[in-house]
Chain A
Amino acid sequence: MDSKAVGNEIQKIAGELFRDDKIDVFIGFERATVPLKSRPCFIGKDEDGRIENLVWDSFCTNNLAAFLQKYFENEPNRRKKREKPYPRIGVSVKGCDTRSVVALVKERQVIRENVVLVGIPCQGMIDRRKVQEKVGTAEIVSHRETDDGTLEITTTDGKTRTFKKEEIMQSACIDCRYPMPEGTDFLLEGEAKEPGDGGYGQIEAFEKKPLEERWAYFEKEMSKCIRCNACRQACPTCWCKECFADHTDLKWIGVGNHISDAMIFQIIRVFHQAGRCVECDACYNACPMGIDLRFLTKKIVKDVDELFQYVPDFDVESTPPLATFSEQDKDTFITDPEKG
């Protein structure tokens, strides 16, 4: 199915869901005003006319699960009962979005019964930074995507260039192991891209570098950080109402621009993603400074997988790794003064 047909199919399903009074809001993508972008759009019950704005292309990079949690704040088992019922939400989801929704359902931040997932077999998304890198300094004014997997770019100097999708695909999508959503309420027809290998090789290569080289790279990347917290906001599993970075008493992260504060913010942010990160690269895409956050998120995913044999997949029943333990967990990192 080509992207236009997918878009039409999403519109049809969203329209039907509204007509049958199954949802109150639909979250999908619409065309943005700038090229190489599609932006999340929120369609309410009385805005049926906007349904035809819904599109699907290779720029639907945002992880839409990030918006779900806000609708379900004030959980039912808290002291005060909510007066209005929770809204019912339709969402178009890729493989990574689905896994994030599953993670949120497990953490009781999203009520699965109130969410209608429209699964879309993911062909991989295009990284606009990779495109810009290839184009150079020229500004891109428009793009056109063809169904045979090429992207046509027009720049301000009037030139037109075409790229194969494989060469400009997001790194996250190249490595993605779960492009096909599972357990969704609707699943569109079509083929997903070939599953990747998870990309652990990149992390292993980095691990083999000497200590000082690793530190130099980390320092270089973190020195770019302006602490805008976009990575946190874009992440579907960063849902704490009070983030440790916002604490004032005890102040974990200083307000100045000292690099150690940026470093600690990232270390802890990534640590908090252990067993929850689905490697959607929403943080990486949101970063205005282009910091390589992938080398951190991928590391924690790899460690959780290797140490606890856990990958956040489509299984709602499995227990998150840091919420449980095993007596067989390895003790190899423990310092034993009686041994050398």
Chain B
Amino acid sequence: MENTENWEPKIVAFLCNWCSYAGADLAGVSRLQYGPNVRIIRVPCSARINPQFVIKALQNGADGVLVSGCHPGDCHYISGNLVARRKFALTKKLLEYIGIEPERVQFSWVSASEGGRFAALMNRVIDDVKRVGPAKKLVKEL
């Protein structure tokens, strides 16, 4: 049996190489505190994120998924995050529609100079996911 008393969420964060990952780096270098629940996966650009990644992460037992890229207009590849924004908007709506808690799948923008914002974002997502509890839907338990 899982220990629900001391349950800590597992959160997968897909971060773009140029902004959000550097933002996470800055948060670390600046010694900012945030929860240890996040597993970061570095991707070249937020447009690299296929909605399948997000859903697959949920199936494989992530309690929450965060996708973060450069702010609109700041993309290293000029328009990657703008293309991604369209995909994310649809993904978020579709998952909420079928009954996945909106807190579980979150999208954000963090730039390379926003270490503080990154730490705040992580705490925010961890709090959100803690509030909705362990993931039960879509999870593949064998």
- Name A residues whose Cβ lies closer than 8 Å to a Cβ of B: 206-207, 211-219, 244, 252, 254, 258, 260-261, 263-264, 267-268, 270-271, 274, 296, 299-300, 303-304, 307-308, 321-322, 324-327, 329-331, 333-338
For the complex formed, measure the closest distance between the CB of B21 and the CB atoms of chain A, giving whole angstroms: 17
Q: Are B107 and A334 in contact (CB under 8 A)?
A: yes
In the complex where A207-B97, A258-B140 touch, is A244 in contact with B52 (Cβ < 8 A)?
Answer: yes
For the complex formed, measure the closest distance between the CB of A185 and the CB atoms of chain B, giving whole angstroms: 34
For the complex formed, measure the closest distance between the CB of A75 and the CB atoms of chain B, giving whole angstroms: 24
In whole angstroms, how far apart are the Cα atoms of A307 and B92 in the complex? 12
The SS class assigned to the B binding surface is helix
In whole angstroms, how far apart are the Cα atoms of A254 and B139 in the complex? 13
Q: Does B121 contact A (CB under 8 A)?
A: yes
Contact of A264 among B59, B101, B108, B123 (CB under 8 A): B59
**What would 28 A/B residue contacts be, using CB atoms closer than 8 Å?**
A214-B98, A219-B99, A252-B52, A260-B59, A261-B140, A263-B98, A264-B138, A267-B55, A274-B90, A299-B93, A300-B90, A300-B94, A303-B93, A303-B94, A304-B90, A307-B86, A307-B89, A307-B93, A322-B86, A325-B79, A325-B85, A329-B85, A329-B89, A334-B108, A335-B107, A336-B108, A337-B121, A338-B117
Q: Does B18 contact A (CB under 8 A)?
A: no
For the complex formed, measure the closest distance between the CB of B128 and the CB atoms of chain A, giving whole angstroms: 8
Q: Does B95 contact A (CB under 8 A)?
A: yes
Q: How many residues of B contact A (CB 8 A)?
A: 43
Q: Which residues does chain B contribute within 8 Å of A330, judged by CB atoms?
A: 89
Q: Are A335 and B90 in contact (CB under 8 A)?
A: no
Q: Does B11 contact A (CB under 8 A)?
A: no
- Name B residues whose Cβ lies closer than 8 Å to a Cβ of A: 51-52, 55-56, 59, 66, 72-73, 79, 82-83, 85-101, 106-109, 117, 120-121, 123-125, 137-140, 142
For the complex formed, measure the closest distance between the CB of A322 and the CB atoms of chain B, giving whole angstroms: 6
Q: Are A299 and B140 in contact (CB under 8 A)?
A: no
Q: Which residues does chain B contribute within 8 Å of A268, judged by CB atoms?
A: 51-52, 55
In whole angstroms, how far apart are the Cα atoms of A304 and B107 in the complex? 18
For the complex formed, measure the closest distance between the CB of A335 and the CB atoms of chain B, giving whole angstroms: 4
Q: Are B82 and A325 in contact (CB under 8 A)?
A: yes
In whole angstroms, how far apart are the Cα atoms of A212 and B100 in the complex? 9
Q: Are B89 and A267 in contact (CB under 8 A)?
A: no
Q: Are A215 and B99 in contact (CB under 8 A)?
A: yes
Contact of B85 among A252, A267, A274, A331 (CB under 8 A): A331
In whole angstroms, how far apart are the Cα atoms of A258 and B141 in the complex? 9
Q: Are B94 and A270 in contact (CB under 8 A)?
A: yes
For the complex formed, measure the closest distance between the CB of B98 and the CB atoms of chain A, giving whole angstroms: 4
In whole angstroms, how far apart are the Cα atoms of A211 and B73 in the complex? 34
Q: Are B52 and A327 in contact (CB under 8 A)?
A: no
Query: What residue of chain A has the Cβ atom nearest to residue B96's Cβ?
Result: A211
Q: Are B99 and A331 in contact (CB under 8 A)?
A: no
In whole angstroms, how far apart are the Cα atoms of A134 and B99 in the complex? 32
For the complex formed, measure the closest distance between the CB of A98 and the CB atoms of chain B, giving whole angstroms: 25
For the complex formed, measure the closest distance between the CB of B93 and the CB atoms of chain A, giving whole angstroms: 5
Q: Which of A216, A264, A326 has the most CB of B within 10 A?
A: A264
In the complex where A258-B140, A308-B86, A327-B82 touch, is A334 in contact with B109 (Cβ < 8 A)?
Answer: yes
Q: Are A271 and B72 in contact (CB under 8 A)?
A: no
Q: Which residues does chain A contribute within 8 Å of B125, judged by CB atoms?
A: 335
Q: Which residues does chain A contribute within 8 Å of B86, judged by CB atoms?
A: 307-308, 321-322, 325, 329
